[in-house]
Chain A
Amino acid sequence: MEHEITLVVNGTARRVSVPARRLLSDCLRQDLGLTGTHVGCEHGVCGCCTVLLDGQPVRSCLTFAVSVDGSEITTVEGLAAKDGLSPVQRGFAECHGLQCGFCTPGFLCTVTAMLRENPAPTDEEVLEGISGNLCRCTGYQNIVKAVHRAAELLAEEA
């Protein structure tokens, strides 16, 4: 049986018909064509599929689309401002916070939410904040730097 749901994705209301078992990650990628959200482990370990649900980072692979009918979703496609990359995206670009980029959408969503709550995190808080996201390329050092840089950029622009 299909369910008619409405998701406000990156500011646009999208109406979509999904079976109950459709994961939010698959709904975004397959039904809405937003392939920026990556799917890695599909059991909540890797963090690639992290999106913002009503502003809070969640695993889209551990969320059914029907369960969040009517919610606001922000994916990596919705992070950038019209005039270019978001401060968090610029931080990652400047500090080489990515190599292959597979994990990056998840990190960007997680970090965007983290800095909104804690605009000047310590190293320890950064590590705790990104502990649920796995990256096989960078060794994390540059990601931690990127988070601090993003915090600076956000502060400069505030």
Chain B
Amino acid sequence: MKPPPFEYHAPRDLGAALRTLAEVDGKVLAGGQSLIPMLNMRLAAPAHLVDISRLEELRVMEATEDGVRVGAAVTHTQVERAGAHPLLTRALKLVAHPVIRNRGTVVGSLVHADPAAELPAVLAVLGGSVRVARWGGPVRDVGAQEFFVGPMESAVRPGELAVSAFFPALGPRTGAAFEEVARRHGDYALAGVCAVVTLGEDGHVEAATLACIGVGPVPVVVDVTGSPAEAARAVRDRVEPEGDIHASADYRRHLAGVLAERALRNATREAGVRGA
């Protein structure tokens, strides 16, 4: 349970980090709360690690009325405490335990792209994006739909660095909820559903989007605007869960439906409160 040897790089600034990533076949180390367990268990053995955790340029969080941009070295705890985005704050309380959140980073969690992780679903349901940079090349913004490619696989290519993520703000008369079931508090969820609902002036559902975790290779986004009452069935039709020792595929599918209804109900209620 010790990490394999690697060469360690601690670049002084973002430019140096990008240059190092262009030169070596390396992996980015931010908070290390996903990467170091993988190294300890020898599931990964990168030759080089590029530590970005102390880069000032990446330790910034910017909240405007459009949304929140979170730099790649900002920890879960810092975002949670800032409370700049209600859905993000709520989802972060479901991410592992407080002590892990003290070092783990929001952008790191997105790039890790665990299909059962909460933050990818938040980015997906909000239609957010990740900003990716490379040495000597233009910066590109990758939308959530393209960012999550498969289980533990994001659109970040070798030599690139995810420098920040943008979470769009919730609009007026909009509520959000995150419901999940985990074996133990803080564990990865067996299944989870994140919902964002916008009500019209007269109280009817104007938009309703769900993102489901643990039931597909990437967050499964389901637009249920047209038939919110049928959300559970829509979700069960769309998800592609796999069975493992923790839960069967059928159970996960069932759970996704139940959680979809619950998340939708809670998000709708919150939208009503915010609109009142």
Say yes or no: is A152 at the interface (Cβ < 8 Å to chain B).
Answer: no
Complex alpha-carbon distance, A110 and B8, angstroms? 29
Is the beta-carbon distance between B100 and A43 smaller than 8 angstroms? no
Query: What's the least CB distance linking A35 to chain B, in Å?
Result: 17
Say yes or no: is A64 at the interface (Cβ < 8 Å to chain B).
Answer: yes
Complex alpha-carbon distance, A110 and B99, angstroms? 8
Stretch at the interface among A8-16, A52-60, A73-81, A97-105: A52-60
- CB contacts (< 8 Å) of B96 on chain A: these are 44, 132
Is the beta-carbon distance between A64 and B7 smaller than 8 angstroms? no
Say yes or no: is B98 at the interface (Cβ < 8 Å to chain A).
Answer: yes
Is the beta-carbon distance between A64 and B32 smaller than 8 angstroms? yes
Given A3-B8, A19-B5, does the pair A64, B36 have CB atoms closer than 8 Å?
yes
- CB contacts (< 8 Å) of A132 on chain B: these are 96-100, 186
The majority secondary structure among interface residues of chain A is mixed
Which of A26, A58, A63, A110 has the most chain B CB within a 10 Å cutoff?
A58
- CB contacts (< 8 Å) of B33 on chain A: these are 44, 59, 62
Complex alpha-carbon distance, A129 and B4, angstroms? 32
Contact of B2 among A21, A128, A129 (CB under 8 A): A21
Which of B1, B36, B186 has the most chain A CB within a 10 Å cutoff?
B36
Chain B interface size band reads 20 to 34
Given A20-B7, A20-B8, A44-B33, does the pair A131, B51 have CB atoms closer than 8 Å?
no
Q: Which residue from chain A places its CB closest to the CB of B184 in the assembled complex?
A: A131
Contact of B51 among A26, A57, A67, A110 (CB under 8 A): A67
Complex alpha-carbon distance, A20 and B103, angstroms? 18
- CB contacts (< 8 Å) of B10 on chain A: these are 66-67
Complex alpha-carbon distance, A19 and B195, angstroms? 46
| Chain A interface residues toward B at CB < 8 A | 1, 3, 19-21, 23, 26, 42-44, 47, 50, 53, 56-59, 61-64, 66-67, 110, 128-129, 131-133
